[in-house]
Structure 1
Amino acid sequence: MKAAEPGGSFILRRTVKRQWKRAVLGALFLGLWQLSEALVPIAIGLVIDHAVLPRDLRLLVISLVSFGALFFVLSGSYRIGSRALNRAVNHESHALRVEVASHALTKMSTKDLVPGEVMSRSTADADSITRIFGQLGTGVSALAGFAGAAIFLLFSDWLVGLIVLIIAPIISGIVAVSSRGISQRSSTQQATLATAGAQVGDTMLGLRVIKAIGGERWASSAYHQASQESAKAAINTAAATGKVAG
């Protein structure tokens, strides 16, 4: 009995596991970056209340130095976090492309080997899988910023802070449910993209034969149909993504 092939969830878990050090480093520093972003308006308010309005020059100088230090941490943490996640993306993309090429060369028969589809799998699919690192960084940084803002609101106005703590998870839940449609549409998009790539590969390999038998119009029509299906799938995915973002 043939073993079941690993699904998308398994591949994503393996992807994160292989690059977990870079992913954790990037997520932590992006969390620090977003927390620093949340502290900027708080810091401005503190400077105005305790240095500008009382016209205290000494506190104003201290505040400006502290403000500069905050921006130093903000920009530095974003740089370090982004570089770590970009390293994870590029290293894992390379590893996935090598795996696809190795599988195509060693475990696929010549009858199943479609150059266009292999190329699509090793480029578009590999890039889509490694987007998980961007999602991890965005999620952790958003959570850090939200937590920092919520804590400050609870101390300054407990009612407003409580409302934020109640409403934000509800909105996040709605977005999470809506995002499932994006995943389904993205799978369809990748499949149609691979089909279009395979169509191109077949056409280019048999170009001389196609021209010899006068099949240019048929080949053009077949690719046009595959390309249109891929375009429609991409538009559907973009539309769903836009609705969730909105």
Structure 2
Amino acid sequence: MSPPPPSTSGSVIRRSLLAARRHRLLVIGSLALTSHQICEALVPVVIGMTIDNGIVPKSPSGFAWSIALLAGVFVLLSLSWRTGYTCINRVNLDGGHELRQGIVGRALRPDGLAGRRGAGEATVIASSDTGRVSALAWLVGRQIASLAAVATCTIALMNVSVVLGLIVLVASPAALVLMHFVSRPLERRSDAEQEAAAAAGGLATEFVSGIRVVKGIGAEAETARRYATTSRESLRAAVRAVRAKAAYSGIGTTFSAALTAVVALVAGLFALDGQIAIGQLVTVVGLAQFVQGPMTILGFFGVDLAQKRASAKRVADFLNTPPEIIPAAESVPGDEGTALLSVAGHPESAWPVLDVEGGTRVGVVFADQGDAAAFVDTLARRAPIEPGRIRVGGKDLAALTPAETRAGVHTQHRDAHVLTDTVRDNLTLDGPLDPKALHAAAVEDVVAALPAGLDERLDGSGRTLSGGQRQRVLLARALHSPQPLLVLHDPTSALDAVTESHVAAGIGELGERGIVLVTTSPALLSACHTVVAQLGGEWTAATHAELFDTSASYRELVGA
């Protein structure tokens, strides 16, 4: 199957507006908004007719007929707005939701995102930019309705006086041309404002999500300085954009007011000369005031479209981000044995030689915790790997996709997160709860302490839980995974000694799957069949008791 074509700003816009039959709602909504604007334009026309046909001649029948017509216009106006608002809002909300689903889907793909794509950047694109793109539904509907309103005003004015109609007919395109040229600086500054705001928002999200790390390394001052610098740049960009928008609005308002004044002056002179009636004068003044709104909307079209196209481009660029992990074209031949995991040795490797069979527990002790994290990331297929170095289920890991790798290996990182959901759904979404897994993770006490037990909803990544409680929930989730090989990275670092011993004993009773424990915990290592430790730059394999008795370096590593 050929890969889908890359996304473009145009395809993102079409996906937002037209996919899933939203084009029907867009058409209905645009027609309804057009009907609303036409009715708005007809209100001063009908009021003028009421004056000329009922009030001036003192005709009860003419007055009654005109009032009935005015009431009908208002009824149609109200219904049109309700229909248009409902349809266009549906397109807006559904289109934004579909784009957000696309962003989240791309962010969560197992093959990852090449380059640095922080959580903050993805959050800004998935919220702000997708919202701007989906708001194109309103831009389309309002532009069509505004064109219809200007046309209705022009026809109505020409029906009163050809001169008045020509004034509006000539002034409208002139205003659009003028506002197009005036809007160019605003377009540039608006785009710069969006970029700066996205950078500041992304940085803030990353700092807040990593506040514990920031405090742990004492980087609060540097973090505040970097955010202040980015925030000030965002502020300066926003001020420049506001100034440009103020100038743009001022010019547009001045032009519209001048047009209204000219039309009112000419209409007043015509009324004094008896060329138009009093009711027609009221109609002309009302139309001249009303037409300012649609003309302003038409004048802002270029600016609005430029902003939304810039957001659509950012969405498309995110969707087109190449994968970080690309499977090797060919795998290195190797032993198709029964080992769930095989790691080949290398003289310059920071990784151990491993062979993990089903039903065995292997502990791995790294001298450098950075190497430990890199090893776990590789087993999770989050980092590139040379062909032939690691085999999973007899297959070369480098030739497997992340999805294929994770079908056989479940990796529980030490920085895993609790989901905003119930405890039950945090443990297992589809299958039944496993009492052995609950007991091994010592999560039974956590559940007993919660008011709703397993149905307690955990919000904010489990902020209502202590660090040890969160870790036990995460461990129970890992033990519920169906993969035959389980890799755990420091799963008990936040637990007290008693609970850690309970967990070690519980894991020791799970004999049906292969388990790799990347840790320095003596309690967990004592539950392993074999421990491979990095001692003096070399890897040594033995039992925990043997290493503990014979190596001072090992005792130092495991904190004994």
TM-score, normalised via structure 1 length:
0.89
Matched, 1:45 2:39: no
* Residues 29-60 of structure 1, C-alpha deviations (whole Å, 9 max, x = no match): 11111111111111111111111111111222
Match of 1:55 among 54, 58, 68: 58
**What is aligned with 1:102?**
105
User: Computing the radius of gyration over CA atoms, which structure comes out larger, 1 or 2?
Assistant: 2
Give ranges in structure 2 of 5+ residues lacking alignment.
251-560
Residues 94-133 of structure 1 correspond to what in structure 2 (within 5 A)? Answer: 94-106=97-109, 108-109=112-113, 112-133=116-137
Match of 1:145 among 138, 146, 149: 149
Matched, 1:88 2:91: yes
3-state SS of paired residue (2:108)? helix
Contact map agreement 1:30 1:137 (CA 8 A) in 2: yes
More helix by percentage: 1
Residue identity matched to 1:12? I
Residue identity matched to 1:42? V
Contact map agreement 1:124 1:190 (CA 8 A) in 2: no
3-state SS of paired residue (2:239)? helix
Pairwise CA distance, 1:171: 0.4
Show structure 1 runs of 4+ deviating over 6 A.
none
**What is aligned with 2:198?**
194
**What is aligned with 2:12?**
11
Contact map agreement 2:16 2:98 (CA 8 A) in 1: no
Matched, 1:21 2:12: no
Question: Whole-Å Cα distance in 1 between the matches of residues 113 and 98 of structure 2?
Answer: 22
**What is aligned with 2:426?**
none
**What is aligned with 2:216?**
212
Equivalent pairs: percent with the same residue? 28
Residue identity matched to 1:16? L
* Residues 173-202 of structure 1, C-alpha deviations (whole Å, 9 max, x = no match): 222333343333333222222222332233
Query: Which range moved further: 228-237 or 92-101?
Result: 228-237
Pairwise CA distance, 1:5: 5.7
* Residues 55-93 of structure 1, C-alpha deviations (whole Å, 9 max, x = no match): 111222222111111110111111111111111111111
Residue identity matched to 1:239? R
Matched, 1:176 2:180: yes
3-state SS of paired residue (1:214)? coil
* Residues 96-117 of structure 1, C-alpha deviations (whole Å, 9 max, x = no match): 1111111111153386341111
Question: Whole-Å Cα distance in 2 between the matches of residues 77 and 205 of structure 1?
Answer: 46
- Number of equivalenced pairs: 244
3-state SS of paired residue (2:47)? helix
Question: Whole-Å Cα distance in 2 between the matches of residues 241 and 16 of structure 1?
Answer: 27
**What is aligned with 1:167?**
171
Residue identity matched to 2:13? L
**What is aligned with 2:237?**
233
Question: Whole-Å Cα distance in 2 between the matches of residues 152 and 207 of structure 1?
Answer: 63
**What is aligned with 2:161?**
157
Contact map agreement 1:27 1:137 (CA 8 A) in 2: yes
TM-score, normalised via structure 2 length:
0.41
More strand by percentage: 2
| Cα 1:4/1:225, change in 2 over 3 Å | farther
Contact map agreement 1:114 1:198 (CA 8 A) in 2: yes
| Cα 1:155/1:204, change in 2 over 3 Å | closer
Q: Alpha carbon RMSD of aligned pairs, Å?
A: 2.2
